[in-house]
Each structure stands twice: as structure tokens, then as C-alpha cells.
Amino acid sequence: MTVRTRYAPSPTGALHIGNVRSGLFAYLFARHNHGAFILRIDDTDELRSTAESLEEILESLRWLGVEWDEGPPDRKYFQSSRFDRYREGALKLLREAKAYPCYCSAEELDAMRKAAEREHRKPGYDGRCRDRTALADLQTVELPDKKAGRNYTIRFRSPREGATVVDDLIKGPAVFENTELDDLIIFRSDGVPTYNFATVLDDFDFGITHVVRGDDHLPNTPRQMQIFYALGLTPPAYAHLPMVMGADGQKLSKRHGATSVFAYRDLGYFPEALLNYLVRLGWSHGDQEIFSLSEMFEYFDFASCGKSAGIFNAEKLLWINFHYMKELPVERIARDVKPFIAKKGWTIPGDDAWLEQMIATLRERAKTLVELVEFASFYLNDEITIDPKAAAKFLKPEIAEALGAVAAELDALGDDFSEAAIQAAFERVLARFNLKLGQLAQPVRVALTGGTVSPGIYEVIAVLGRARTVARLRAAITLATGGT
């Protein structure tokens, strides 16, 4: 059997990281088993589905490196293109008396719900329309169409006896008494199929062998299995992942911080870091924390998935991103950081080699690309703002002569502006004025960066270059001596 998994997001908003984790696990399971990963778009909600949301979903998956074998742009993988198939399936169930029209009004359904609440019963449809239509008449019942006056729904005739067993690949067997499962709606009065019905036909038609999703869908699974059986089809295997929760134990939401894939992209996270974090949120392989995508393909299985909820830890994600900041090739970071520099309205005062040299001085400090750009402000802008407290402490009149000597020594280096040459120039000034390195380096740091914290002073000078360094030193001398 060739393994075929699917991911079926709805284009009604941003791609949520809790949701995309299910797609990631489905993707990894397919790749581990040399199978196929199918991307299906559940867009039956015409009012809320948008082209913008669809594009964000597709771009989010591409950014993460998740590649689908079948799916968009092929329209057959959009539920909105499959309504004829859903109508065909619903009519089959009607003709075989496995579904029936329900004429209950919204007021009647609300009264049922309130009665169940008063009597402390599980809310559900009481089946009052189950035998309202004679079996012979079901042969001619048409599907709902408000414009044609067919203002009713179609309900699935659930079995009243026995139990439905979900042999879950992660959680183990789960038994659902059929008496607890009411007759769910499979076609709404507006003529649109419900999720639980449409997904059954999709999973069968696309040959899905394994459905991987969050355990909030577990209550839907016995209902979907019953529809499979009623249609004479074999259900796929199911694997339900524990939910992703916030640190407070509540379902992950915006109050816990950024939750969409694009939000983390825009915060300056690497796709490898987010992917790595999500795969470890409910799965493990020994004590290993960092995985390449090929290692995920090799190691992933359901046996190593946890059965309890995953707790989203923003600090852990930041730590993983910091790991990639230090380990990814500097050329890659240079490519990725350019849009963040442009977003600030800044230009890069050098070529790619200069940008890579700049990044090399900051990658051990910055945890995200946004932070990298913030730390690089003094490299990218000549209009730096010197912290008044730092200036008062380090840019005093008595250091002005030494700063002038440093400027002269560095200016005399010409094209040999290596860190070694810069260090030698500093040492000559230190010897001449009988200063320790810190006594000179800190005023120079304030003059060049505007503050007291930066990479090594020789690195900073080498990246800034001779002309920019000398100009900033001379401006600092003017400040130190009371000039303007």
C-alpha cells in the first residue's frame, strides 16, 4: 500500500501554527513511508474564503519548505469544485434510506438544545424527522435549494445500536456508543455540504490512507467512519495529535502572542527554526533537539508522538532560532535579512561581501533577523545618535587627543584595513598615551556605535571601513571638546 496523507486548510484566515503542525506531521509521515502528500483546500465557506488567505496558506507552506505532491493550482483539489460529487453522494444515501430530509426550524432545534441543558443531557438532534418521510418517497427527495423552495436540511441516518471503534494510531482504541451520536446534517438548507460529509468523499476519491489531524477532530471521526460504511467504503487510518496549548493550559490563541506562520516570518524567524520547533511539539527522537528536514523524514513515526497536549514555549522557539542564526551559512542570512533592512527604509552601504562581514560580527548576539537589523543600525546608518549618558562618561575632553591619534593612525592605513592592521594602530596609540585598551576602546565604541555595547572594536572598525570610522571619530572629538 502506498501511503497517502493530506492537509486540508480552509482559506478563511492566516495559517495558524497549531493547525500547520498537523499538516507537518502528515507530510513527514508520507515522506517517511515514501508516499504522497496531498494539499486539499476546504473552501466551501464561500463568504469567508478569500484569494488572499489562500495565497498566504500556499506561501506559508512554501516558506516552511513543505512540498505537496498533489494539490493547487489543480482545481480538482478545491472543495468548491466538487459540489456535483457531494450531491451525487448525498442522493445515494437518500435513495438507500441512509439519509433523510429534516424540516425542523431553527426555533425547534434551539428548543431541543435548551431542553437537553435543563435535563443535563448531551445536546443533540432527537430524530423527530427520521421517519417523517416514507421510504418510498426518499426515492424522489431532492437536495435543498432555497430558491426552489426546498428549505430543509439532509441528515445522515446514524445507526442506533452498537458502537464505532476508532483505532487511533496515536491515542489507541476509542469506543463511541452509537446511541451517543445523533443524526448529523450532511447538506445544509443553503445547498452546501457540511465538512463531515464532504471530507469523507474527498478522502476516498483522493485515495487517502492516513488522516493526521488534531484531537479536537476526534469526536468527528466516528461520524465520518459511519458515513464511509454507509457508502460502502473503507475508512482511512486515523492519527489524532494532542492540541497545542498556551503556557496557561488554554488553547493557543492570539492572547498568547504570535500564532500565524507569517507572523513568525515577519518577526524574523527562520523557517528551519519554526519547523524544528513544531516537530518537537509532540514528537521526540531520543534527546535530539535539532533536526534537519532529511532527519525528520528518516526518523518520524507515530509511535514517538506524545499523547498529552503540547505546551507552546516562545522562549524555546527563540532559542532554536538563535541556534540557526549561529549555524546557518552567512550567505543565507545575508539573503534573508535584506527585506528587513529595506523595511526600515535603509540602504546597505556595501556589497554582499560587506553585508556578510557585518552579519558575522552580530550573529552571536542577535536571536532574530529583526533583532539583527536593530543591532546593525550603526553599521547601516551614518546619522547615529550617541547616548547622552555614554557621551558624558566616555567622551570627555581629556580623551580627545587620543581619539585624534586613533583617527590619524587609522586614516594612514590606506587600503590595508584588516583587523590585524587596526589592532596594530590601536597598540601604537595605547603605548603613546600610556592607556589600557578599555580606556581607549570604550570611547571609540561610543563614538562609532552611539552606545557602550557592540561587537569587538576591531571588528566594528573593519566593517565600518576607514572613511566612515575616521569621520565618526572626528565628530566625537568635536563633541568631547564642547564643539557642535
CA distance 202 to 211: 11
Distances (CA, A) of 333 to 271, 314, 320, 368, 482: 12, 22, 15, 10, 41
At how many degrees (to 10) do helices 437-449 and 466-480 cross?
A: 100
If one counts every other C-beta atom within 10 angstroms of the C-beta of residue 371, the result is: 19
Q: Which residue(s) pair with 222 in the sheet?
A: none
| CB 100, CB 136: distance < 8 Å | no
Q: How far apart are the first and last CA of the chain?
A: 79
* Candidates 76, 146, 251, 254; catalytic one: 254
* Dihedrals phi, psi of 36, to nearest 5 degrees: -120, 145
254 is catalytic: yes
Query: Which residue shows C-alpha cell 542564526?
Result: 325
DSSP state of 286: T
Q: Which residue(s) pair with 455 in the sheet?
A: none
Q: Which three-class secondary structure state does DSSP give residue 302?
A: helix
Q: Which three-class secondary structure state does DSSP give residue 39?
A: strand
Could you tell me the three cell numbers for 83? 459540489
DSSP string spanning 116-158?
HHHTT-------TTTTTS-TGGGGTPPPPBGGGTB--EEEE--
CA distance 101 to 441: 83
Q: Which of 76, 83, 94, 75 is nearest to 191 (CA)?
A: 83
| CB 291, CB 276: distance < 8 Å | yes
Give the active site residues. 254
